[in-house]
Amino acid sequence: MYTIVTGAAGFIGSNIVKALNERGVDRIIAVDNLSKADKFRNLVDCEIVDYLDKGEFLDRVLSGQFDGDVEAIFHEGACSDTMETDGRYMMENNYRYSLGLLDWCLEQEVQFLYASSAATYGATTVFKEERQYEGPLNVYGYSKFLFDQIVRKRLPEASSQVVGFRYFNVYGPRENHKGRMASVAFHHFHQFRNEGRVKLFEGSHGYGPGGQQRDFVYVGDVAKVNLWFLDHPEKSGIFNLGTGRAQSFNDVAVASVNGARALQGESELTLDAMVAQGLLEYVAFPEALKGKYQAFTQADLTKLRAAGYKDEFATVEEGVRRYVEWLAKNA
């Protein structure tokens, strides 16, 4: 039996492949689109049995070539660019493709664990997995939102596991290929290494400079939650996957700079000291993000905890320090 990971060469997908390997699972079929070839590096230290392009994979699945041979699918593949304006491409890539896999998994009784997004919530300040709090601000968020609605309709009659994870702001190893869509921790590391300072947005949405808050979740914790649900096939639903703690962009910047300073044997600094020394700079809020920006996110973990997941999540200070050490070795 195979385990399939779509988006396997991407950020979260490759971390799931590596986590599966670490528990002895290597009959993994990796599915991705390598038109941007640099992503292959994320799989170099991973063990898989085959690689398929995402188009070829769906054709083979729907033609019956994998019938009876698959235990679970981790569907992480998607266009995650929140600035993408081609709605036709977004809906075909994120919605229609996912729907084809969902239908097949339900028919074959294959565990289906997929990536949703906190972008489904939009501008709300309440992050519960309930329709009344959902209102995406961009077509990426809408593609994820619409698929979640289909899942909700299918769940009452589903004979196999279907789990959607509403990822909040994920950061950590193996996101080098993401460019401008990489996490703020990634950008802070490279800004500080190349320019000796990091940049944050000025105040907006009622927050002071760098004070906007997000639920930043370490990718290692994301992989752990995915595998926990794999081990509990009786658990289905749509779940927030964040830490349950909102922390500011200032917190990420301080952790990034102090992590880099620690590698050089230098002492930690406070936020005020960093600003005074020019290590932290605030820049104008971009026009392109106005009306499309979530200034506050914080996962409500009530449903996740009720499902039985009890492990704690890394704080920004813990996770970013770990990530900076990884980046220094692998940048």
Q: Is-contact 73 113, C-beta < 8 A?
A: yes
d(CA 284, CA 261): 26
DSSP 209-265: TT--EE-EEEHHHHHHHHHHHHT-TT--EEEEES-S--EEHHHHHHHHHHHHHHHTT
CB atoms closer than 10 angstroms to residue 68: 8
Which residue, among 208, 214, 183, 213, has the nearest Cα to 198 in the 3D structure?
A: 183
d(CA 40, CA 209): 37
DSSP state of 49: S
* Residue in 140, 167, 171, 323 annotated catalytic: 140
d(CA 215, CA 118): 10
- Count of all residues that appear for the chain in the document: 331
298-325 exposure pattern, b = at least 16 Cβ within 10 A, e = fewer: bbbbebbeebebeeebbbbeebbbbbbe
CB atoms closer than 10 angstroms to residue 220: 17
The torsion angles phi and psi of 164, rounded to 5 degrees, stand at -110, 135
* Residue in 178, 199, 235, 303 annotated catalytic: 178
Residue 49 burial by Cβ neighbours in a 10 Å radius (0-12, 13-18, 19+)? exposed
Q: Is 2 a catalytic residue?
A: no
Q: Is 54 a catalytic residue?
A: no
Tell me the catalytic residues.
Answer: 140, 178
